Structure 1
Amino acid sequence: MKPTFNDLVETFAILRGPNGCPWDKKQTHETLIKCLQNEAQELIDAINNKDDENMKEELGDVLLQVLIHSQIAAEEGKFTIEDVITGLYDKLHRRHPHVFGDGAKASTPEEALALWKEMKKKERAEK
């Protein structure tokens, strides 16, 4: 059976739990910044090198960063991975009104990008 996304989430809870890994348990958002930067750069390098196999691995490493940061935040009572997913889902729907919303039109990539930027500006003004 292939592991699911929830299996990964549970893995991070175990890694940072009482019987987990000392290194993982010690990490904070701040101590992981350099790791996140390195993994993002390695993904960029894989993309630039058109190395699909390495890109797959590096995407996993970036996902690792998302999961461990979300686990730390959950332990601190700030937010969960489910909150991250919900936020992303909502953002994608808000910023694609030409696909999911109010009948806005975007026939070209440029029009779609303009809508994205317009919605982002509107969201910031409402904060």
Structure 2
Amino acid sequence: MDRLRSPGGCPWDAEQTHASLVPHLIEETYEVIQAIDTGTRADLAEELGDLLLQVVFHARLAQEHPDEPFGMTEVAAGIAAKLRRRHPHVFGDAQAESAQQVHEQWVRLKQQEKQRPDPLEGIPAGLPTLVRARKVLS
């Protein structure tokens, strides 16, 4: 990705922004879903690779931010830390005997971390209407 974004690299890649890549991110996400629903394992592997490319691309763009750069190292460290925090039954002393208890614990910990006064605040406005409605009601 560094070479693609560098002088002498790919003109198309060089002109992309987070916003210009959103349609590709959405499309690749839906292609992963389709591969899960109807594809083969090879289809799923390919589509997961395409989705990972979007994550790598966005992380590379984030490295270029003049004031608050971050890259794949920070993205990976962030998700690793989140998984440890949200799984205290694995990485700590908490108990969770069922998947339901794990889910309830995850939701509770997420609410504690985010501390959002408005429960609608964390629901992305761009979600499809029915998905958004389900999140609002849950």
Pair in the same fold by TM > 0.5: yes
Q: Which moved more, 1:75-84 or 1:104-113?
A: 75-84
Equivalent residue number for residue 46 of structure 1? 35
Q: 2: distance between equivalents of 1:32 and 1:20?
A: 18
Query: Which one of the candidate residues 73, 97, 110 is aligned to 1:120?
Result: 110
Quote how far apart the aligned CAs of 1:37 are.
0.4
Give runs of aligned pairs for residues 26-65 of structure 1, distance below 5 A: 26-65=15-54
Quote how far apart the aligned CAs of 1:31 are.
0.3
Quote how far apart the aligned CAs of 1:119 are.
0.8
Equivalent residue number for residue 133 of structure 2? none
Q: 2: distance between equivalents of 1:28 and 1:22?
A: 13
Give runs of aligned pairs for residues 27-106 of structure 1, distance below 5 A: 27-77=16-66, 78-101=69-92, 103-106=93-96
Q: 1: distance between equivalents of 2:102 and 2:36?
A: 24
Amino acid of the residue matched to residue 123 of structure 1? E
Q: TM-score, normalised by structure 1?
A: 0.86
Query: Which one of the candidate residues 13, 19, 25 is aligned to 2:8?
Result: 19
Amino acid of the residue matched to residue 98 of structure 2? T
Quote how far apart the aligned CAs of 1:89 are.
0.4
Quote how far apart the aligned CAs of 1:52 are.
1.0
Unaligned runs of 5+ residues in structure 2 are 117-138
Superposed structure 1 runs of 4+ greater than 3 Å apart: none
| 1:5-57 deviations in Å (ceiling 9; x for gaps) | xxxxxxx0111011110010010000000000000000000001142111000
Q: 2: distance between equivalents of 1:24 and 1:44?
A: 25
Quote how far apart the aligned CAs of 1:60 are.
0.2
Q: 2: distance between equivalents of 1:108 and 1:50?
A: 30
Larger relative contact order (C-alpha < 8 A, sep ≥ 6)?
1
Unaligned runs of 5+ residues in structure 1 are 1-11
Alignment: residue pair count: 114
